[in-house]
Amino acid sequence: MISGYLDGLEMVLQLGTLLAIAGGTLLGIIMGALPGLTSAMAIALLLPVTFGMPPVMGIGMLLGALCGAGASGSIPAILLNIPGTPSSVATTFDGFPMAQKGEAGRALGLSIVASFFGGVASMVILSLLAPPIAEFALRFGAAEYFSLSIFGLVIIASVAGKSLMKGLIAGLLGFFASTIGTDPITGVGRFTFDQLSLLTGINLLPALIGLFAVSQVLKDAFEYDPSARLKASEHRVDIARPRFLETLKHWRALMAGILSGSIVGPVPGAGGSIASLVAYDQARRFSKSPDKFGTGHAPGIVSVESANNALLGGALIPTLALGIPGEAATAVLLGGLMIQGITPGPMLFDNHDGTVYGIFLAYLVANAFMLLIMCLGIKVFIRVLMVPRKQLLASILVFCFIGVYGVDGDTFNLYLMLGFGVLGYFLNRYNFGTAPVILGLILGPIAESNLRRGLQAFQGDWTPFFTRPISLTFLIIALLLLVITILQNYRARRPA
Amino acid sequence: MERDLGKPLFDLVLLIASAAAFVHASALPNIDIVGDLSPAFFPQLISAAVFVLATPCFINDLREWRSTARGDHPVGHRRAVAQWLLVVALTLGYTLVFERLGYIPSTAVFTFCCVVGFTVTSGGLSALSMGGKVKALAAAALFAVVLASSVYYVFTELFDIPLPG
Amino acid sequence: MKKLLGTLTLAAAVVAAPALAADYPTKKIDMIVPFSAGGGNDTFIRALQPLLEKRLGEDLVIRNIPGGGGAVGMSRAVSSRADGYTLLAASNAMLTLEAMGNVAFTHDDFDFIAKVVEEPYVIAVNSDGKYKDLKSLVSGATSDTPIRIGSSGVGSSAYITARAVADITGANFNLIPYPGGSEAISAAMGNHVDAVVLGGSELRSALKSGRLKGVAMSYAERSDSLPDVPTFQEQGYDLTLTVWRGIAAPKGTPEAVEQKWVEAIKQIVAEGAYDKTARNLGTEVSPLYGEKLDEFIDHSAEVMSAAAGDLAK
């Protein structure tokens, strides 16, 4: 193994490889920071370039894009309250309030360092434990996925705003939206109204951009008041620097993020989007001051951002160990691996030519480049806030259009984005919140299709959902969390 | 607290929409598969749950609305609504012409209208002298053209992301 | 960025080729991929992209238009101008959509330029499971509990092929649709289903690692890429189908354009430049052009529409 790492190191420490990784990371950071552009797009864009490169160089470049985009999604989330990807939704909870206090630089500094630690920790876990974790992920059948999604849906209670009931309604709205499209089991069209674009259901991206970015622009437009101009000096640039010590001080939140990312991340199809929300939920539950979460509290940012990059390492586990990609970005990455002639699977880890170790090390290097580039850029990012409001609002919408149109070239999704924007505006205005909608939209199909798939496989028998150990465990945890939440809610309300 | 009819009204919309969705879902076709719940099961379950949860919200919000004294809207409310509608209308228009006009013209027009629109609704334009007006419009036009063409160049040439030509 | 990185990394593969003499192409060519990035169709064309760009002397712009299981992108291709500047990365999905009756176009609305690669459909079982071959699957399925067969989404070509397998073997298969191939594979590895029916390239790493075992595949004869997997034909079932990928254009595209493309692809095939990549992706280069291609497409469309059967509206 040590000789494997030495061989791998030799492959990574070459000028061309290092430059390729740096270039990939830079592209990932840029694409990740623009709302709507995703790491999957960055990787797809680089795929033809890797053709003809040695494996570690090509894969290293793709991993750089993955890592960069994973970290930079926090930039618009913190500065503008606009998450570019589902996994940075939770970054807005504390990142944006902190920025509104004039401490955007501090929020960015925390998120960069937390991303870095999350990425490195998950690389270590990936290199040591990938095969057993992948085996564990295989034990997830329909029953387990269903219970996992129920566990995830309980988080709605945590991210709901002032009213638990309205938060639940928002979650249900997202769940309902997810049933639009071709029915996953029978193939019957549901609520498609003969619209081709709806056959595969509502796309997550226009919904996300609409609910968060467009609704935020509408709110800003409503509140736009030229006489009350925010002074540029209120945003302190001098505090914009990476915050190593402060991040480490919140080690509990950091651990919550790393563990959630590494445990939930490897579950194909489910982990990517919810790991950071799970991390936020856990960090808040085990905090001594849960009330401070949502007000610009540092541990909130640390937990989410460390989870965000830890889940990338987690998602690489089934991709490398089984050849099963969890979501879009790793699916494109898998294409890159196959073009290179690298066959994912257990024997990849027994391979003695050092390629797999080279890939691990390349991922580590990508994290280092991410840290470096983000640290160099931090004072630049923050200047976005100094763009005059009306120009900024127009530019945000322009970028939203590119993100939504660029992914699938379908104007229908632009209308969908605007519709979700208006809906999101009212949901926020009347205390329903928009984060539960996204959770419902992501987890809804997992819950529905796996419940029905399970019932089909078990011939209509419900008991396996309660007798299979992993499934039962998730259900019990979900029930416990639900009871605790209701009790806390009840207690919080009584004195008032 | 500001008296806001929109709050109970939004709940009412939810009630009506969930009822409509429930009815629509009951008409969904089904294909019999052993053990499977029908395609209509979840849409009906969810819309029923929304209806049940939204009912108390509606009653609460309506009560709150009736008990809040009728007060004047805060200063600038009309302007705020105008700005909100402006953005919705411009975004809708932008979507309509996005593919037809091509990227650079549609984006430049949209950006220009946005910036100028905000200046107009906030009363900033009428406060300016003739020369100032021309200057402000020219600045907005310049910003719009530069933004549209640079974004187009960066995304199509450097990032290979296709935009309507 | 791509060009910048290319220079940065000294990747010799992306050097711009000198302009070709003939008129076409004089500007960038849009290549519609009717699926999202990362799918088989997308990887196929992205790997081919640099080779094609070199021979055509112009950039290919890959447009992923994924909605509707390919329907949105293909409809867009049908309605584009037939001038050779909008092409489609075509595959079986076109024929299954047509068979399902969900779309307004048929394969007759396209000019097929070339078939480039193909792969078989494979039915595979868990190597440690109780079924070892097609015979035991079929005989096991006649008892009370049907055999659980995983496949990708309802209406996908793999799902329709699974139905065709069920029909032709007469076995009691419980077809369980998964959102995509990888979910079905992971279900088979975890013993949540008894077997899967998927395209050979999706199954490649699972078969190569020995986790899954192919028990039958849909070529007419055994293939070098999967020498150990017997065909349906040799096991007594008349089922021949392939997953193919190639290039199509909207109907009425000029003959000269088609010639240019056929030449470029013939050249790539002759030089063997794509062989290794195709093999790595679990496919084989098996080019087909002109009338033979049209016959092949017509035949595949018939088989698909028969297999879709009562699924179709």
Q: Quick one: pLDDT band at residue B165, thresholds 50, 70, 90? A: confident
CATH code (residue C198): 3.40.190.10
DSSP A103: I
Task: Give C190's contacts in chain A (Cβ within 8 Å).
Answer: 138-141
Q: Does A57 sit within 8 Å of C8, measured CB to CB?
A: no
More confident position, A454 or C145: A454
Q: Which two tokens stand for residue A391?
A: 């120009």
What would the mean pLDDT of A171-193 be, rounded to a whole number? 91
Q: Which amino acid is at B36?
A: D
Domain range spanning residue C196?
A: 119-235
Q: Which residue has the tokens 């395609």?
A: B39
CA B51 distance to own-chain centroid: 24
Chain B CB contacts of C174 below 8 Å: 34
Is C61 within 8 Å of B162 when comparing Cβ atoms? yes
* One domain for residues C43 and C57: yes
* C83 interfaces chain B, CB cutoff of 8 Å: no
Q: pLDDT value at position B84?
A: 95
Q: Residue range A483-494: average pLDDT?
A: 74
Structure tokens given for B55: 């009912």
* Residue C247 and residue C279 share a domain: yes
**Which range of residues forms the domain containing residue A51?**
2-493
* CB-CB under 8 Å, A398 with B31: no
Q: If we measure between CA atoms, which residue out of A333, A272, A319, A377 comes closest to residue A60?
A: A333
Domain count, chain A: 1
User: What 3-state DSSP class applies to C113?
Assistant: strand
| Count of helix runs (H) and strand runs (E) in chain C | 11, 10
Range in A11-20, A349-358, B10-19 with the lowest mean pLDDT: A349-358
Band of residue B102 on the pLDDT scale cut at 50, 70, 90: very high
Looking at beta carbons, which residues of chain C come within 8 Å of B36? none
Closest Cα in chain A to C182: A324
Phi and psi (nearest 5°) for A333? -60, -40
Closest by Cα among C144, C140, C143, C158 to C196: C158
Amino acid letter, B83: Q
C6 pLDDT exceeds 50? no
What band does C16 get if pLDDT is binned at 50, 70 and 90?
very low
Identify which of A141, A184, A334 has the shortest CB distance to residue C179. Answer: A184
Find chains touching chain C: ≥3 CB pairs under 8 Å: A, B
Q: Do C105 and C18 share a structural domain?
A: yes
- Domain locations in chain B? 6-67, 77-158
Q: How far is CA A144 from the centre of its chain?
A: 21
Q: Which residues of A touch C153 (CB under 8 A)?
A: 182, 184, 187
What is the tens place of the pLDDT at every residue in A241-278?
888 889 999 999 999 999 999 888 887 766 667 888 88
Mean pLDDT of chain C: 86
Residue C311 has pLDDT above 70, yes or no: no
A411 and B163: CB-CB below 8 Å?
no
pLDDT at C24: 87
Lowest model confidence (mean pLDDT) among A9-18, A419-428, A479-488, B121-130: B121-130
pLDDT at A29 over 90: yes
Query: Do C200 and C151 share a domain, yes or no?
Result: yes
The domain total for chain C is 2
Q: How close is the nearest chain B Cα to the Cα of A326, in Å? A: 24
pLDDT one-digit tens code per residue, A50-76: 878 898 999 999 999 999 999 999 999
pLDDT band at C312, cuts 50/70/90?
Answer: low
**Is the confidence at residue A328, as pLDDT, over 90?**
no
Q: Evaluate if residue A233 carries a pLDDT over 50.
A: no
Contact between A28 and A65 (Cβ < 8 Å) = yes
A-C C-beta contacts closer than 8 Å: 212
Q: How far out from the chain centre does Cα A38 lie?
A: 10
Cα C204 vs. chain centroid, distance in angstroms?
14
Q: Identify the CA nearest to A457 among candidates C194, B32, C148, C180.
A: C148
Q: What is the CATH number of the domain that holds C265?
A: 3.40.190.150
Signed CA dihedral, C251, C256, C257, C258: sign only: positive
C142 vs A418, B143, C132, C150, C216, CA distance in Å?
53, 72, 16, 18, 19
Cα–Cα distance measured from residue A29 to residue A252, given in angstroms and rounded to the nearest whole number = 27
Q: Which residues contact A103 (CB under 8 A, 6 or more apart)?
A: A236, A239, A296
Kindly state the percentage of chain A with pLDDT values over 70: 95
Q: How far is C203 from chain A, CA to nearest CA, in Å? A: 9
Same-domain status, C148 and C284: no
Angle between helices A298-322 and A55-72 (to 10 degrees): 150
C74 and C150 housed in the same domain: no
Q: Is the pLDDT of residue C21 over 50?
A: no
**Do C69 and A24 lie within an 8 Å CB cutoff?**
no
> B91, A391: Cβ pair inside 8 Å?
no
Tell me the C-alpha distance between A385 and A329, whole Å. Answer: 30
Average pLDDT over residues B12-35: 91
- With both helix axes pointing from N to C terminus, report the angle between A15-33 and A2-12 in degrees, rounded to the nearest 10: 80
B29 interfaces chain C, CB cutoff of 8 Å: no
For A376, residues 6+ apart whose C-beta sits below 8 A from its C-beta are none
pLDDT in tens, C210-269: 899 999 999 999 988 888 999 999 999 988 888 999 999 999 999 999 999 999 999 999
Judged against a pLDDT cut of 60, whether residue A95 lies above it is answered with yes
Average pLDDT over residues A201-216: 91
The neighbouring-strand residues paired with A182 are A189
Cβ contact C65–A409 (<8 Å) = yes
CA-based Rg of chain B, rounded to a whole angstrom?
24
Buried b (16+ CB within 10 A) or exposed e, B109-120: bbbbbbbbbbbe
Q: Is the pLDDT of residue A326 over 90?
A: no
B155: left (phi over 0), alpha (psi -120 to 50) or beta: alpha
Tell me, what's the pLDDT at C22? 52
Mean pLDDT of A132-141: 87
- C67 and C107 inside one domain: yes
